[in-house]
Amino acid sequence: MNRRTLLRLVGRAGGAAAVFTNMKALGLLPGAARGVERPQLVAQSGEGVKIAILGAGMAGLTAAYELSKAGYDCTVLEALDRPGGRNWTVRGGDVIGEMESTQTCPFDRNESLYFNVGPARIPYHHVNLLSYCKELGVPLEVIVNDNRAAFFQDDNAFEGKPVLNRRVANDTRGFVAELLAKAMNGNALDAEISPEDRESLLEMVRSFGDLDPDLLTYQGSGRAGYVVPPGAGTVVGTRNEPIDLSELLRSDFWRFKLQFAEGFNQAATMLQPVGGMDQIARGFERQIGDLITYNAAVSQIRKTPAGVQIVYTDKTSGSEQSLEADYAICTFPLSVLSQIDADFSPAYQQAIAAGSQSYVNAMKVAFQARRFWEEDYQIYGGISWTTRDITQIWYPSGGFHSTQGIVVGAYIWSNDIASRWEPMSPEERLMQAIEEGEAIHPGYGNEVSPTTGCSIAWGKVPYSEGGWMGWNSEDLESAYLTLLEPDDRIFLAGEHLSYLTGWQEGSVLSAFEAIEGIASRVQGVG
Amino acid sequence: MNRRTLLRLVGRAGGAAAVFTNMKALGLLPGAARGVERPQLVAQSGEGVKIAILGAGMAGLTAAYELSKAGYDCTVLEALDRPGGRNWTVRGGDVIGEMESTQTCPFDRNESLYFNVGPARIPYHHVNLLSYCKELGVPLEVIVNDNRAAFFQDDNAFEGKPVLNRRVANDTRGFVAELLAKAMNGNALDAEISPEDRESLLEMVRSFGDLDPDLLTYQGSGRAGYVVPPGAGTVVGTRNEPIDLSELLRSDFWRFKLQFAEGFNQAATMLQPVGGMDQIARGFERQIGDLITYNAAVSQIRKTPAGVQIVYTDKTSGSEQSLEADYAICTFPLSVLSQIDADFSPAYQQAIAAGSQSYVNAMKVAFQARRFWEEDYQIYGGISWTTRDITQIWYPSGGFHSTQGIVVGAYIWSNDIASRWEPMSPEERLMQAIEEGEAIHPGYGNEVSPTTGCSIAWGKVPYSEGGWMGWNSEDLESAYLTLLEPDDRIFLAGEHLSYLTGWQEGSVLSAFEAIEGIASRVQGVG
């Protein structure tokens, strides 16, 4: 039994104590993060076993790569003409086809001018995905997720003006600390705090908020930045005045935006492949590209007495083809799978239908522009947040100081907003993104233009039909569990079959589950 | 009058209000950070004027670059055989000469195997230094300063075991928030908080600390990481248990280590030149290398009726040489300058002597090693902290997933610790760094070795004799002000003449002051 299998079993039994005990028994450090959990397949154990893998996204590529290493005879059917699925990077000249529109990316061709329309970041602890980056020779660099020089903009606070992240972040800390110090000094917390801890706690609170050491009040802090920064000679520096607490509370930053980069999957260090996320898909393709049939649009998934039969259309010739295999791994998003003619059991069909309703129809917009964010605002990577529909502006974390860059002018993951933006023409989306971005960067419209931008609405992308799965809690207790088990010889995989939905690591791990499920069957131990 | 001059004058008058008013008058955005403040010298205004620049560190290089652009006839005297001064990057085969020892760096030669023995990071708002990186074609990348995957280790808490940064950071937030919520619910802060703000504030506190939404207590948080991270299938994930508050208080993390990366000069985005900090010095050298006389050790600084006379030894030939000039800019650290035979006024001599006592004798140790921090701990850049002498371990922010890397095994900036470490032999320093690093990374001694490491003690480096200036508050009110003014035709520059001591931006800005001082004299307007 490998480490992952054990942890999976222990996880089912539940409880941190059980996990700890078992990890100790295995000699695993609780301090260190998880290790790489590749399936350990017996060499040549798959010889003579045919696997049909539906979809060359991250789950399908992982499955083909690992299974073929153990001798399985894999065929990957992919409807598009490229690997990666939602792992997709768009560059100048690339075509973005949606159901109701087609755009050609207008960027100049240049290695730093790319747009990760799908996933754009990798947390440091997504060790399985990272292990493939290493193995496949995909160079990584840091992506800035939290930048104190970026802005928050809220139409309902600060007269709608953009406010520096570092002011909001540090003034908030200051006021929280000041209030706690006041409560402690008023003896309101004496029942909560032992006399031994009291002094240390007050000191901690002071340091935490950078409070005035004598008054224990927040008088502003260099952490929040300067109107005139310290310099040479007599320029001692003039700090920003603290923002009024009531104004901070009127804004929405603190609801989650301010804490965003403390999240388990968002905290430093976050990484990105140099030159675009699709470098990972291309890395897999270099290894197993010969197993992939591109332009193969699956229309039927059939159970046969001996295994499975997959019917697909060769989009190049228009001809219908058939593939027989012993097992299938289907990685299609449920929104796509639910529309395919398939021999699934009624329970399975129902579960697929349920999940197909829960996709997050994420959208992104990007523009090529002068790197005004660096030149005028000293913003090197990271994210500005706004209450407007565009939600975020992302700045590139590489290619610093070059003449042009790609700014992500909208990253939307609200289905409510997407439902209003999806029907817009590509140009209308860009126009609205420009107008809204103006609130964060006055003069934005002079820097970006509809002729230098493009957009993607994942809900409208054929063969994806959604950004990622957003299981509701009810389906997670039923449909999700149903789909974790194979239906006869058909195994499902993809980010939707993980607790890391929307993350490539979830796709990779779900592929491991399918691989191990098949291997158990083949070896007669499952 | 340029923007910088105005801000300097306003800064002297003091007060944020005055600065704001004046910035608005100038049409400057208070939201945006400072702009680049290069001296605006009249073209050819320096023709026929000879300048002796003492030292080819960042201040000297800046002065030579800017003055020569305006036609000044500059000669830079540099005691070493390279530009940069404390801007220094060591690679395999380089020699580190201290007063009592000589080391040859044992690293393999490889572009990612470098050791920034001096400054290693550039804050995003050090716009003048960054403008030179851009102008001189020095590529930059992100340096991770704060990594939630790194460790805190305290001999007085947690049984001395290393604890993940993300646990300490987020459990601290959780407890601070819980206590504040309790105080508010006990009505202890009713006098401080208006009824309108109360609900929002409670919500803010809840979100800030990731409190249980009903109980408003801290029950742990995914932000603090997982024993078993969420995965595919049924692996929903098992969170780390919260650390006990009393144990957190017993540790010293919160005194400043935990807040460190919120500091004005430490907050994201932090940058580094690709391949080593010395790329900036080399960039200047490409432009004005012909103005630099290397191996020129200054022994006398004389005032003459017509200007200055500099006597120096050509270390290659051993011969004594003399340089006459109309003005001098002396960038030597005061610890070095105080030992030079010079015609300074008594007040000046006294000020130099006072400042010479206040240097921070920083030390660093580095090893080449397997990138065990990535492979075993998922640490990509950033810093671990310890209460032991080594103070920090820094992990490289580039070259990810290559086979070997350079880990900074100690970064010490306490003169108390340095006074104990400086007298050690190079090998003794490495042995002690290995022993102490073991507390953060058990088995460290199997990864690094005295044969793969080297060290620097800046207090023992000839022509530097210190890491950076650490003015005491008294001298800042007298000696510092004295040295800001020229002594006759001799101007001082360097990080020590700024409020950004220890930062290259301080050197650059202080050079701007000297340049403008000379230009005013030459143009008769000063």
B246 is written with which tokens? Answer: 């009393």
Q: Which carries the bigger pLDDT value, residue B93 or residue B525?
A: B93
Residues in B touching A204 (Cβ below 8 Å): 172, 176, 248-249, 254
Task: Identify whether the C-beta of residue B327 lies closer than 8 Å to the C-beta of residue B307.
Answer: yes
> From the list B33, B263, B481, which residue is nearest A149 (CB)?
B33
Q: What is the pLDDT of residue B525?
A: 56
Task: Test A207 with B169 for CB contact under 8 angstroms.
Answer: no
Rounded to whole angstroms, how far apart are CA atoms A250 and B474?
43
Rounded to whole angstroms, how far apart are CA atoms A325 and A403?
52
CA distance A165 to chain B (A): 11
pLDDT at A15 over 90: no
Q: What is the pLDDT of residue A101?
A: 98
Task: Test B269 with A149 for CB contact under 8 angstroms.
Answer: yes
Least confident of A77-91, A243-257, B2-16, B184-198: B2-16
The residue in chain A having the minimum alpha-carbon distance to the alpha carbon of residue B238 is: A16
Task: Test B269 with A377 for CB contact under 8 angstroms.
Answer: no
Task: Test A170 with B227 for CB contact under 8 angstroms.
Answer: no
Residues in B touching A161 (Cβ below 8 Å): 31
pLDDT at B205 over 60: yes
Radius of gyration (C-alpha) of chain A in whole angstroms: 26
For A150, other C-beta atoms within 10 Å of its C-beta total 27
User: Which value, to the nearest 10 degrees, does the dihedral of the CA atoms of residues B385, B391, B396, B401 take?
Assistant: -60
Interface test with B, best of A241, A249, A376 (most B CBs within 10 A): A249
- For residue range B395-436, what is the model confidence (pLDDT) as tens digits? 999 999 999 999 999 999 999 999 999 999 999 999 999 999
Residues in A touching B148 (Cβ below 8 Å): 262, 267-269
Q: What is the mean pLDDT of residues A388-412?
A: 98
Task: Identify whether the C-beta of residue A447 lies closer than 8 Å to the C-beta of residue A370.
Answer: yes
Sign of CA dihedral A135, A137, A141, A143: negative
Parallel/antiparallel/unpaired status of strands A296-304 and A341-342 = parallel
Q: What is the pLDDT of residue B24?
A: 47
By the 10 Å C-beta count (0-12 exposed, 13-18 middle, 19+ buried), A92 is classed as middle
User: Which run of H or E residues covers position B4?
Assistant: helix B3-13
Task: Identify whether the C-beta of residue B282 lies closer than 8 Å to the C-beta of residue A247.
Answer: no
The residue in chain B having the minimum alpha-carbon distance to the alpha carbon of residue A161 is: B31
Q: What is the pLDDT of residue A1?
A: 45
- For residue range A454-486, what is the model confidence (pLDDT) as tens digits? 999 999 999 999 999 999 999 999 999 999 999
User: pTM here?
Assistant: 0.95
pLDDT at A287 over 60: yes
- For residue range B104-122, what is the model confidence (pLDDT) as tens digits? 999 999 999 999 999 999 9
Q: What is the pLDDT of residue A516?
A: 97
The residue in chain A having the minimum alpha-carbon distance to the alpha carbon of residue B236 is: A499
Q: What is the mean pLDDT of residues A423-451?
A: 98
Give whole-number Cα distances, A219 to A153, B271, B520, in Å: 23, 29, 39
Residues in B touching A256 (Cβ below 8 Å): 207
- Residue A524 pLDDT level (bands cut at 50, 70, 90): confident
Interface test with B, best of A22, A227, A403 (most B CBs within 10 A): A227
pLDDT at B28 over 90: no
Task: Test B194 with A246 for CB contact under 8 angstroms.
Answer: yes
Parallel/antiparallel/unpaired status of strands B151-153 and B382-386 = parallel
CA distance A344 to chain B (A): 19
Q: What 3-state DSSP class applies to B456?
A: strand
Give whole-number Cα distances, A312 to A99, A293, A349, A428, A488, in Å: 20, 11, 20, 36, 20
> From the list A31, A170, A246, which residue is nearest B164 (CB)?
A31
pLDDT at B51 over 70: yes
> From the list B30, B249, B401, which residue is nearest A140 (CB)?
B401
Rounded to whole angstroms, how far apart are CA atoms A66 and A61?
9
Least confident of A183-192, A337-346, B156-165, B404-413: A183-192
Residues in B touching A128 (Cβ below 8 Å): none
Q: What is the pLDDT of residue A279?
A: 98
Task: Identify whether the C-beta of residue A209 lies closer than 8 Å to the C-beta of residue A175.
Answer: yes
Interface test with A, best of B28, B36, B378 (most A CBs within 10 A): B378
**ipTM for the predicted complex:** 0.94
Rounded to whole angstroms, how far apart are CA atoms A338 and A356?
7
Q: What is the mean pLDDT of residues B63-79?
A: 98
CA distance B211 to chain A (A): 12
Rounded to whole angstroms, how far apart are CA atoms B352 and B228?
58
Share of chain A above pLDDT 90, in %: 90
Residues in B touching A10 (Cβ below 8 Å): 228
CA distance A162 to chain B (A): 8
- For residue range A91-125, what is the model confidence (pLDDT) as tens digits? 999 999 999 999 999 999 999 999 999 999 999 99
CA distance B430 to chain A (A): 25
Give whole-number Cα distances, B498 to A269, A368, A370, B35, in Å: 32, 39, 33, 18
Give whole-number Cα distances, B102 to A439, B79, B317, B422, in Å: 58, 17, 22, 13
The residue in chain B having the minimum alpha-carbon distance to the alpha carbon of residue A168 is: B262
Q: What is the pLDDT of residue B27?
A: 43
Rounded to whole angstroms, how far apart are CA atoms B5 and B106?
47
Task: Identify whether the C-beta of residue B311 lies closer than 8 Å to the C-beta of residue B77.
Answer: no
Q: Which carries the bigger pLDDT value, residue B56 or residue B20?
A: B56
Task: Identify whether the C-beta of residue A225 lies closer than 8 Å to the C-beta of residue A167.
Answer: yes
Interface test with A, best of B121, B234, B370, B484 (most A CBs within 10 A): B234
Task: Identify whether the C-beta of residue A137 lies closer than 8 Å to the C-beta of residue A150.
Answer: no
Q: What is the mean pLDDT of residues B292-302?
A: 98
Task: Test A246 with B197 for CB contact under 8 angstroms.
Answer: yes
Residues in B touching A182 (Cβ below 8 Å): 189, 192
Residues in B touching A184 (Cβ below 8 Å): 179, 183
User: Which run of H or E residues covers position B123?
Assistant: strand B122-123
- For residue range A133-187, what is the model confidence (pLDDT) as tens digits? 999 999 999 999 999 999 999 999 999 999 999 999 999 999 999 999 999 999 8
Residues in B touching A237 (Cβ below 8 Å): 11, 499
CA distance A437 to chain B (A): 16
Task: Identify whether the C-beta of residue A298 lies closer than 8 Å to the C-beta of residue A312.
Answer: yes
The residue in chain B having the minimum alpha-carbon distance to the alpha carbon of residue A169 is: B262
Rounded to whole angstroms, how far apart are CA atoms A57 and A337?
14
The residue in chain B having the minimum alpha-carbon distance to the alpha carbon of residue A224 is: B264
- Residue B33 pLDDT level (bands cut at 50, 70, 90): low
CA distance B486 to chain A (A): 12
* Cis peptide leading into residue A75 (ω within 30°): no
Q: Identify the structural domains of chain A with CATH numbers, from first to last.
A: 33-84+278-356+469-522 (3.50.50.60), 89-149+268-276+362-460 (3.90.660.10), 165-251 (1.20.1440.240)
Task: Test B230 with A170 for CB contact under 8 angstroms.
Answer: no
Q: DSSP state, B65?
A: H
Residue A482, phi then psi, degrees to nearest 5 = -60, -45
For B294, other C-beta atoms within 10 Å of its C-beta total 17
Interface test with B, best of A132, A238, A240, A372 (most B CBs within 10 A): A238
Q: What is the pLDDT of residue B4?
A: 56
- Residue B3 pLDDT level (bands cut at 50, 70, 90): low
- Residue A22 pLDDT level (bands cut at 50, 70, 90): low
* Cis peptide leading into residue A269 (ω within 30°): yes
pLDDT at A62 over 50: yes
Rounded to whole angstroms, how far apart are CA atoms A464 and A277?
17
Least confident of A41-55, A247-261, A377-391, B70-84: A247-261
> From the list A207, A230, A398, which residue is nearest B499 (CB)?
A230
Q: What is the pLDDT of residue B392?
A: 98
Task: Test B207 with A239 for CB contact under 8 angstroms.
Answer: no
Interface test with A, best of B10, B238, B404 (most A CBs within 10 A): B238
- For residue range B347-375, what is the model confidence (pLDDT) as tens digits? 999 999 999 999 999 999 999 999 999 99
Rounded (10°) angle between helices A504-522 and A58-69: 40
Task: Tell me, letter by letter, the H, E, C secondary structure of A274-322.
Answer: CCCCHHHHHHHHHHHHHHEECCEEEEEEEEECCEEEEEEEECCCCCEEE
- Residue B342 pLDDT level (bands cut at 50, 70, 90): very high
User: Which run of H or E residues covers position B304?
Assistant: strand B296-304
Q: What is the mean pLDDT of residues A222-235?
A: 96
Give the side-chain half-sphere CA count within 13 A for B156: 9
Rounded to whole angstroms, how far apart are CA atoms A54 and A73?
14
- Number of inter-chain CB pairs under 8 A, A vs B: 363
